[in-house]
Amino acid sequence: MFFNPLYFIFLSPALLLMAWAQYRVRSSYGRAMQIPAPLSGAAAARYILDHAGLHDIEIQPTQGYLSDHYDPRGRIVHLSAEVFHSRTMAAVGIAAHEVGHALQHARGYLPLAIRSIAVPAATFGPTACIVLFILGALLHSVPLMGLGIAAYGGLLIFEVVNLPVEFDASNRAKRVLSGLNIVDAQGAIAVRDVLNAAGWTYVAATLQTLLTILYYVFILTGMSRNDRD
């Protein structure tokens, strides 16, 4: 059931889109890393935050490749070592994107608050789905399997809400980098390419979750039909 070739047929559009998006991220990031910037990623983040009056938000380096993120609970912008230290357009673009989330938080951006509420459903939903779906299959219980699919829907809700959050953060980053003259016209193009490519990975992930749910619904519908025959 879980290794049915039909599963990969269902997911093929999302898998192809994700492969294309990841290729775009790697290529655009590689190009933007070759274009110098007047500030490092950390310095650009600090400059933008201070300009917005957010002096209390910290900026800290973190381990991992492109592991950059904003922690709303600790009010900390975490930047990967390469982004933190590099004086390149890729670094300032990614740093500005994470600062965009800090600006959303400070301005009370509603989709960000909704996304925070949906985090538990996104974290535990897929695991609950697998457990309930397997139990339902073993017990031949269609309602139990349906409950598992509903649990997986928590991840879809999170990812759908996450799309405007990520795109808005990127748009804020593009505007503020140009508005504060951190990037020139060439740099703005490089930043746009990196952030737009990253945005497509979120779209692909959302599509993959949707198609996974449709696959499970298809399996469940087939079982229900067999029960009636």
- Residue 228 pLDDT exceeds 70: no
- Read off the pLDDT of residues 136-189 as tens digits, 9 standing for 90 and up: 888 888 888 889 999 999 999 999 999 999 999 999 999 999 999 999 999 999
Percent of the chain whose predicted confidence (pLDDT) is above 70: 96
Q: How is the chain split into domains, by residue range?
A: 5-224
Name the amino acid, one letter, at 15.
Answer: L
Tokens 């779906």 sit on residue: 133
User: pTM for the complete prediction?
Assistant: 0.89
Q: Is 98 a catalytic residue?
A: yes
Dihedral sign for Cα atoms in the order 35, 40, 46, 51: negative
Provide CB contacts within 8 A for 158, sequence distance 6+: 115, 118, 119, 121, 122
Tokens 């198609």 sit on residue: 211
**Given 58, 82, 98, 166, which residue is catalytic?**
98
Kindly state the average pLDDT of the residues 105-125.
Answer: 92
